[in-house]
Structure 1
Amino acid sequence: MSRRRRPLALLLVALFIGMPLVEIYVLVQVGQVIGAWWTILLLVLDSILGTLLIRHEGGRAWRALREALGGGRMPARELADGALILVGGTLMLAPGFVTDAFGVLLILPVTRPLFRRLLAGLVSRRVLAGVVADATRPGPGPEGPVVRGEVVDE
């Protein structure tokens, strides 16, 4: 595994192991404070609210995307919003208060611009890293070796 991918892999392992543990801890703590049935009711209401929010914001993002395409301009902002709403909606599907809170932050139009800037920075770093890697890669061209030969058909 390359050195660049190792931190990402460790982060994903930590998230896949750590997040369920955090969710269980928070659910137990909330259940101890307000009771099990109220916690379940709160999770159901949270899911209903999340569904309504996703439908509303997803519809707005879809309309904005169609307007941008209809106007002939590049829909970069609209695509980023759609991706954030999709990720937020996926987080809302997972049972638990922590993932739901983070999902709502990705979906709300008030907090979405912050995450859009983070997403744009992440994508631009990845694209620039790919361009630099391609520029320094040996191969045909002035920097790399070229093996001359001929093809012989038998």
Structure 2
Amino acid sequence: MRVFLLLLLVFPVLELFVFVKVAGAIGFFPALLLIIAGSALGLLVMRVAGLATALRARESLQRGELPAEEMFQGMMLAIGGGLLLIPGFLSDIVGLVCLLPFSRHFAARELRARAEAQAARQRAFRDDPAAAQPREGLQRPNVIEGEYERRDQ
């Protein structure tokens, strides 16, 4: 949490520093136009990516598959578009990296590997026979199995 707070405080200062350096190199108005163009590109990406992700997810559901990959790709596109919307060159660079197909596929592979490892760890603890035994002090609920028939008068 402290890292996030530090990043939240330092990131705007870095963005302003980079903007001043770029504006000093190419001029203020060209730098400002680059920031506006980046925001327009981010808005376009967010609109197109949302619709495309919804269509791909629907096709995947019609085939009877879970649209996890499509949803992750859409999420990465949305994050990239959102970062492009934020004024600043550093956020634009990170947003463009999120939009590149090879970086999205790499992130998807890494996330899938982590999710599979987490699921394996949870299964390992769930299948533990000692965990299946009721703990002392905890009572099992009284369950009476049977069939019934309702007869109204």
Distance, in Å, in 1 between the alignment partners of 2:79 and 2:105 is 15
| TM-fit CA distance, 1:39 | 1.0
Give the partner amino acid of 2:133.
Answer: P
The Cα offsets for residues 75-118 of structure 1, whole Å up to 9 and x where unpaired, read as 11011112212222222221111111111221233431112223
Distance, in Å, in 1 between the alignment partners of 2:125 and 2:23 is 51
| TM-fit CA distance, 1:135 | 7.7
Distance, in Å, in 2 between the alignment partners of 1:21 and 1:135 is 50
| TM-fit CA distance, 1:45 | 1.1
Q: TM-score, normalised by structure 1?
A: 0.72
State which of 71, 76, 99 in structure 2 corresponds to 1:84: 76
Distance, in Å, in 2 between the alignment partners of 1:129 and 1:37 is 54
Number of matched pairs: 140
Q: Aligned residue for 1:75? A: 67
Say what the alpha-carbon RMSD is for the aligned residues: 2.9
The Cα offsets for residues 52-72 of structure 1, whole Å up to 9 and x where unpaired, read as 233333333222111101111
Distance, in Å, in 2 between the alignment partners of 1:128 and 1:18 is 37
| Structure whose alpha-carbon radius of gyration is higher | 2
Q: Aligned residue for 1:104? A: 96
Q: Give the SS at the match of 1:111.
A: helix
Give the partner amino acid of 1:142.
Answer: Q
For the Cα contact (< 8 Å) 2:15–2:90, is it kept in 1?
yes
| TM-fit CA distance, 1:143 | 6.4
* Of 60-69 and 103-112, the range deviating more from structure 2: 103-112
Distance, in Å, in 2 between the alignment partners of 1:35 and 1:113 is 37
Give the partner amino acid of 1:96.
Answer: G
For the Cα contact (< 8 Å) 1:84–1:116, is it kept in 2?
no
Give the partner amino acid of 2:36.
Answer: V
Q: Aligned residue for 1:144? A: 135
Distance, in Å, in 2 between the alignment partners of 1:15 and 1:143 is 45
Q: Give the SS at the match of 1:144.
A: coil
Give the partner amino acid of 2:103.
Answer: T
Change (3 A) 1:19 1:58: same
Q: Which runs of 5+ in 1 are unaligned?
A: 1-8, 150-154
For the Cα contact (< 8 Å) 2:56–2:70, is it kept in 1?
yes
Distance, in Å, in 1 between the alignment partners of 2:123 and 2:10 is 34
Distance, in Å, in 1 between the alignment partners of 2:116 and 2:11 is 27
